[in-house]
Amino acid sequence: MNKSVAIIVLFLLFAVQLFVPAQMIYEQEDTLYSGTAYKFKTQPIDPSDPFRGKYIVLNYEMDSFETNDESWNGYFGTLFIYLETDAKGFASVKTISKTQLDSSDDYFITKTHYNYNGKVEFELPFNRFYMNEYKAYDAEISVRKAQADRTKTCYGLVYLKEGTGVLENVYIDDKPILEFVEEYQQEKDSIQ
């Protein structure tokens, strides 16, 4: 009897260990498939995580919200950021809230990290773009060149659904970063 109970417990333990990552993957894929796409302007750098690999950290231009509401002074905690799209097609903050609003607007959840004189600052939770380690350095160089050239636009395409945000890709002038890097590498190879 004890042996069969132990087998059932072991089976349940394995099932839970498979269910949790499967649920996380499903949520991300569902957001990419049925979420709403937003473009966030970026200013990236290229660090490395020894456990996850090479990635580009995306510092977004949209990182704060101005408000006259004094209840935000000194508030540090969960933040619901509701979005709209500006005239150029990029995401912008429509409003912020400490709790989830009864609204049909797309939103994501993050934390405040600074408040000062009506300015609530935050960090977007989808700020890492992982890529092949042999291309990450060239991606950083490509993005820096693109941003130095004021005629180019660099942005992250993020899908949002029910508060979850998934970074689909990084683009330079509507071209995926990997294509841009391959062109940069070909240019570099032709010079050598």
108-162, pLDDT tens digit by residue? 999 988 777 778 999 898 888 888 777 777 787 777 777 777 788 889 999 999 8
pLDDT value for 46:
47
pLDDT value for 52:
53
Specify the number of domains making up the chain. 1
Contacts of 101 (CB under 8 A, 6+ apart): 80, 82, 95, 107
CA distance 180 to 133: 16
pLDDT tens-digit map of 33-92: 888 888 877 765 545 555 555 677 777 888 899 988 888 888 888 999 999 999 999 999
Domain of residue 137, residue span: 35-191
Q: Report yes or no on 102 lying in a domain.
A: yes
The C-alpha torsion from 164 through 63 and 122 to 172, rounded to 10°, is: 40
pTM above 0.85, yes or no: no
Matching residue, tokens 């942005």: 155
- 3-state SS, residue 73: coil
Q: Report yes or no on 12 lying in a domain.
A: no
Q: Report yes or no on 23 lying in a domain.
A: no
Q: Report yes or no on 97 lying in a domain.
A: yes
Q: What's CA 164's distance to the chain center, in Å?
A: 10
